[in-house]
């Protein structure tokens, strides 16, 4: 369950079925930056990207178990300075893959 304290957002997102991408958050959450950590208990890779149909081993970026990545949207090309959580998708190579999310919400 997502937790919001001030502008700090945190959650653990589970991909129930491998091959079925899920969004990191709802459109109500716009992130200035977001950090993702593939839990070390995962047995396969976590894939992430900006299109539900394109988050896969051949098209998306990936995190191996216990890998982490920070994405900063404050100076993005669109000039928006943030990204809606509904535009960031994750998928898993195996059922039940989990990613811990921490992000800074737009004002």
Q: How far is residue 78 from each of residues 51, 73, 74, 75, measured CA to CA in Å?
A: 16, 10, 10, 8
Q: Given CA atoms 17, 18, 19, 21 in this order, what sign does their dihedral have?
A: positive
| Cβ atoms of residues 48 and 36 within 8 Å | yes
Model confidence pLDDT, tens digit, residues 41-53: 999 999 998 876 6
Model confidence pLDDT, tens digit, residues 70-104: 999 887 766 678 888 888 999 999 999 999 999 99
């Amino acid at each position: 369950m997502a937790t919001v304290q001030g502008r700090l957002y945190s959650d653990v997102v589970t991909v129930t079925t491998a091959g079925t991408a899920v969004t990191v958050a709802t459109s109500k959450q716009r992130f200035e930056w977001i950090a993702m950590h593939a839990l070390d208990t995962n047995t396969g890779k976590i894939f992430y990207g900006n299109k539900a149909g394109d988050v896969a081993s051949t098209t998306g970026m990936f995190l191996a178990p216990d890998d982490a990545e920070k994405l900063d949207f404050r100076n993005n090309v669109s000039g928006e300075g943030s990204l809606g959580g509904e535009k960031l998708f994750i998928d898993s190579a195996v059922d039940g893959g989990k990613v811990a999310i921490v992000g800074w919400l737009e004002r």
